[in-house]
Amino acid sequence: MLNKLALEKNKLLVIYKLCVDLLFIGTIFFAVSLLAESLIPGIVTSRVGFSKISFLVVLPLLLSSVLAGRLGISLAEEKINKKALVALVFLMIFTFFSSLFNLSIFLNLFILALALTCAYFIFKVVTENA
Amino acid sequence: MFDLTKNVKLNQEDIALYRRTQTGLYVLAFSAGLILLFLILFSSKKFVFSFLTPDSNKNDIIDPRDENNIFPDRGEIKTGNPLIFDTVATGRYSSAEIRLTVAKNSPKPENVSAKVRKSYQAFLYPEGDPIGFKDGTLLKNNGGYFIVSDGKIRKFANENTVLDLGFPRNAFRETSPEESGYNPEGEIIIQSKIDSSELIAPDYPDSSIFKIEETYYILKNGELTPFISEKAYLTQYDINQAIVKGRDFLRYYPISNNPLGFGDGTIISYGEAAFIVSGESILPIDNPETFVEKGYLWEEIIPVSGDEFSLYPKGKLQMLRSPHPDGIVYLTEESSKWYLVKEGKKHLLSSENIARSWLKKSPVTVSEKSLELKDACSFEKETLSFRTYSCRFPVDSLEVFRGKDYEFKLLGKSDTRLETLNVTFKKEVSRDNLKFALIDLYNKLRMNYAR
């Protein structure tokens, strides 16, 4: 009985690890699609809908968090990865700027600055509560 | 292989299982990425029409009709009466496949064959009667002076009449009797009745143009109709053909409250949006791709003021699938023939002189050869289906023709009733197609970011 439970736990650990890999793949796919869409609108979504691409991120995210709860895995507190943060901020700035490209450059920069300020304060509030 | 969850430890047996599955997962993801890239670069384009739900928004085959321009009710096709329809496919395609699904109790279609041609939709309109010079045009021939007034060509009795009325002599363009033959002859303008007491209005023919202070007017039905601006006037007439008058001239004629705007086919912009002028309205152009594919030129856009813009009601959105509106002038590249689009027909403008009276900008260039219908293919029943017939043919030879409208004509030797109609354009995997797909993506990118 104990052996069987251990076996099940080991298999769940494998599934958990695969879910994290799938989440990684989904995130990369989502980010690349977002970047491509902001450059040429419709290039991806005319073939694969964004709901399907979002599904690729949401499904492994939910599954891995459920499995983590069941297996008693908790996320170790890690320092913010500066490289990832820079890449994320760059992606955000680029998609924002690109989507507002038809506006006047000053209005575009103003909205971008406003969005970045909002994002910064939301980030501060979330991390402080944590 | 990397591990994103190093802290989650597995036993030896499970490590091997995880590594195998992880490799499979990444290979699968990589393959999915490649397939998506393939779909982007060598995309196919499908158009459908269901005769069961002809009003559905999903139907994107344009205007299925018979030779008399009548929609085939419930998909009924009669012997000898072809089914004609259009699709607009941007991009470079290698082949097209047409599939027909016949209704359950319909007779089987026999010897159905397809013909195809590719051009601009409005250039494929049937040809109407040739059209002559535009109202207001000033012409001279063999020492005689003429004005086109209410569609008719009216001769001035003599040169003195022209000078007495104040028409600028240099505004009369040389013409031939053949050219002027396209407008019916009107009454001769005998003598201007300029009253010395200046109480009676001088007898100017309709379509005479005046410049009073900074405003241009055209005489229409005894009223002086002002142009909204000089910019608008110059899209219709030449600057030197207006008779310059003082403000006191306005007392002779009532002034119309409905000012005239830009010439048909003029592209105007207001804010970020571009519109094409057609008759009494302006038609918004939905995106830069439509603008380019319709053969318009960026440098010919005229930015307009709020007053000029508010003169027009907005008409139907101009999309890729919309035909060119009334007022567009085509010029064939092989034989330099000019055509004016008007009320669902294209009318020959028999000379450049006539065409220039209608057009103050560049025409849309077309290929005359694109009018020829080419034999495409014959339909055969699909092996795994009871009611589906299909045929496939190459379309890369049509790529040389301007315009993205493919017009298909299906003709069979028996009555039949169709349920659905599909057309799929496909790209072959080849170096050329890859090159064109990349160029196309680059152009789309440029269109989005070029200001």
**To the nearest whole angstrom, how far is the Cα of A79 from the nearest Cα of chain B?**
16
Burial profile B230-244: b = 16 or more Cβ within 10 angstroms, e = fewer? ebbbbbbbbeebbbe
Q: Which of residues 71-110 of B touch A (CB under 8 A)?
A: none
Taking the Cβ of residue A24 and every Cβ of chain B, the question of whether any pair is shorter than 8 Å is answered with: yes
The tens-digit pLDDT sequence of chain A (130 residues) is: 445 556 578 888 999 999 999 999 999 999 899 889 888 888 888 888 888 888 989 999 999 999 988 888 877 666 777 888 888 888 888 888 888 877 788 888 888 899 889 888 888 887 775 5
Q: Do B8 and A17 touch (CB under 8 A)?
A: yes
- CA-to-CA separations, B6 to A6, A7, A13, A17, A68, in angstroms, rounded: 20, 20, 12, 9, 14
CB-based contact B197:B207 (threshold 8 Å): no
Tokens representing B138? 């000033």
CB-based contact B119:B402 (threshold 8 Å): yes
Q: How far apart are alpha carbons A98 and B402 in whole angstroms? A: 32
Residue to test with chain A: of B1, B2, B11, B14, most A Cβ within 10 A: B14
Tokens representing B127? 């040809």
Of A13, A76, A102, the CB nearest to B10: A13
Taking the Cβ of residue B280 and every Cβ of chain A, the question of whether any pair is shorter than 8 Å is answered with: no
Tokens representing B374? 């080419």
Q: Do B10 and A25 touch (CB under 8 A)?
A: no
pLDDT at B215: 93
Pairing of β B215-220 and β B209-212: antiparallel
Residue B294: left if φ>0, alpha if ψ -120 to 50, beta else—which one? alpha
- Terminal-residue alpha carbon distance, chain B: 46
pLDDT at B79: 82
Q: Which fold has domain B45-112+379-449?
A: Jelly Rolls (2.60.120)
Q: How far apart are alpha carbons B392 and B377 in whole angstroms? A: 6
Going by pLDDT thresholds of 50, 70 and 90, the confidence category of residue B375 is confident
B7: chain A residues, CB-CB within 8 Å:
76
Q: What are phi and psi of A84, to 5 degrees?
A: -65, -40
Per-domain residue ranges for chain A? Answer: 1-75, 76-130
The CA-based diameter of chain B, rounded to the nearest angstrom, is 117
CB atoms < 10 A from the CB of A77, how many?
6
The contacts of residue A11 (CB under 8 Å, 6+ apart) are: B14
Q: How far apart are alpha carbons B428 and B436 in whole angstroms? A: 12
- CA Rg value for chain A: 19
Of A13, A20, A47, the CB nearest to B4: A20
pLDDT digits (tens, 9 = 90+) for B267-326: 999 988 999 999 889 999 998 889 999 999 999 999 999 999 999 999 999 999 999 999
- CA-to-CA separations, B45 to A64, B55, B65, B96, B135, in angstroms, rounded: 38, 21, 22, 9, 45
Q: How far apart are alpha carbons B191 and B164 in whole angstroms? A: 9
What string of H, E and C letters represents the secondary structure of chain B? CCCCCCCCCCCHHHHHHHHHHHHHHHHHHHHHHHHHHHHHHCCCEEEEEECCCCCCCCCCCEEEECCCCCCCHHHEECCCCCEEEEEECCCCCCEEEEEEEECCCCCCCCCCEEEEEEECHHHHCCEECCCCCCCCCEEEECCEEEEEECCEEEEECCHHHHHHHCCCHHHCEECCHHHHCCCCECCCECCCCCCCCCCCCCCCCCCCEEEECCEEEEEECCEEEEECCHHHHHCCCCHHHCEEECHHHHHCCCECCCCECCCCCCEEEECCEEEEEECCEEEEECCHHHHHHCCCCHHHCEECCHHHHCCCCECCCECCCCCCCCCCEEEECCCCCEEEEECCEEEEECCHHHHHHHCCCCCEEECHHHHCCEEEEECEECCCCCCEEEEEEECHHHHHCCCCEEEEEEECCCCEEEEEEEEEEECCCCHHHHHHHHHHHHHHHHHHHCC
Stated pTM of the model: 0.79
Place of tokens 């607009």: B88
Q: Do A40 and B444 touch (CB under 8 A)?
A: yes
Q: Do B8 and A73 touch (CB under 8 A)?
A: yes
Q: Is the pLDDT of residue B12 over 70?
A: yes
pLDDT digits (tens, 9 = 90+) for B190-226: 865 555 555 566 788 999 999 999 899 999 988 999 9
pLDDT at B199: 57
Angle between helices A2-39 and A50-71 (to 10 degrees): 150
Of A21, A24, A39, the CB nearest to B445: A39
pLDDT digits (tens, 9 = 90+) for B35-85: 999 988 998 999 999 999 999 999 999 999 988 889 988 888 888 889 999
Tokens representing B39? 């779909």
Which residues are paired to B33 by β-bridges?
Answer: none
